[in-house]
Amino acid sequence: MPKKTFHNLPTEKREKIVNAAIDEFAEYGLENASTNRIVANSGIAKGSFYQYFVDKLDVFNHLMDVVAREKIEFFKDKRPPGRNMDTFEYFRWMIKIGMEFNSAYPRMAQAASRVLFVEGLYYGKNFAGYHEQTKEALAAMIKQAMKNGEVDPSVDVGLAVMIMETWSNAITTYIVTEGMKQKDILKWVRSAKTQEKIDKMLYVMEYGLRKTESKFEKHF
């Protein structure tokens, strides 16, 4: 965690540093991020950086705390549109709100997804902690859904969690990488076309690729 000198900083300066760090990690990932560039872009001296943080990982962990806090803040006043939602509807709603967050803070989302989901796979076991909460929450949701007869119980809970995470990550990666090319990412995410794409991905997660009599052309 950052040293107390960092927390004593005026908000503006702190934010400038945090923003420079976010850009750096979004652009270069964790391993190739450069503290030299971070200090250059935040207008502080090299020595100051090491009075605020112990090292690169420290500033990254701080960023993840900031992301977590912003996310909670963002989700706070969001409520599902209806009562008694189906688990899949609820998951779809969650993903969509998540994508709203990602497009509201695209560099943050890019930095987090890149390092945690992508580089994290090959790092020595770090970052596992960040997944734990998500996984537990998903597992609880899925168990309940199986009890409700919504999720196929022949697919075990662990696998269902893995699948939902895979899709969540795939969609996030798609939104973040494609979205960065748009001039107005939020508008692009909210566009009918992008929303339909997300819907279709989740539809396939729910019903699979195979054509079956019962569902054919029921949805699209």
Partner DNA sequence: ATAAAATGTGACCTGCCAGTCACATGACCA
Partner DNA sequence: TGGTCATGTGACTGGCAGGTCACATTTTAT
Residues interacting with a copy of itself, by CB under 8 A? Answer: 29, 31-32, 88, 114, 118-119, 121-122, 146, 149-156, 159-160, 163-164, 166, 170, 173, 177, 197, 200-201, 203-217, 219-220
Is 51 one of the binding residues for DNA (CB under 7 A)?
Answer: yes
Burial class (CB in 10 A: 0-12, 13-18, 19+), 129: exposed
Number of residues that bind DNA (CB under 7 A): 20
In the complex, the smallest distance separating the C-beta of residue 103 from DNA, rounded to whole angstroms, is: 29
Judge contact between 155 and 182, C-beta under 8 A. no
> Of the candidates 22, 44, 160, 198, which one interacts with DNA according to CB under 7 A?
44
3-state secondary structure (DSSP) of residue 147: helix
Q: Rule CB under 7 A: say whether 45 interacts with DNA.
A: yes
* Rounded-to-integer distance, Cα 105 and Cα 158, Å: 30
5 binds DNA (CB under 7 A): yes
Query: Residue 47 is encoded by which pair of tokens?
Result: 């020595």
In the complex, least distance from residue 1 CB atom to a copy of itself, rounded to whole angstroms: 27
56 touches, from a copy of itself, DNA, none (C-beta below 5 to 8 Å by class): DNA
Non-local (6+) Cβ contacts of 8 within 8 A are: none
36 binds, among DNA, a copy of itself, none (CB under 5 to 8 A by kind): DNA
The answer to the question of residue 115 lying near DNA (CB under 7 A) is no
Q: Tell me the closest approach of the beta carbon of residue 65 to DNA, in angstroms.
A: 19
DSSP labels, 114-148:
IIIIIGGGGSSSTTHHHHHHHHHHHHHHHHHHHHT
What's the closest the beta carbon of residue 25 comes to a copy of itself, in angstroms? 11
Q: What angle do CA 34, 40, 41 make, to 5 degrees?
A: 90
144 binds DNA (CB under 7 A): no
- Round to whole Å and give the CA distance between 145 and 151: 6
d(CA 34, CA 208): 43
Query: 44 or 205: whose CB is closer to DNA?
Result: 44
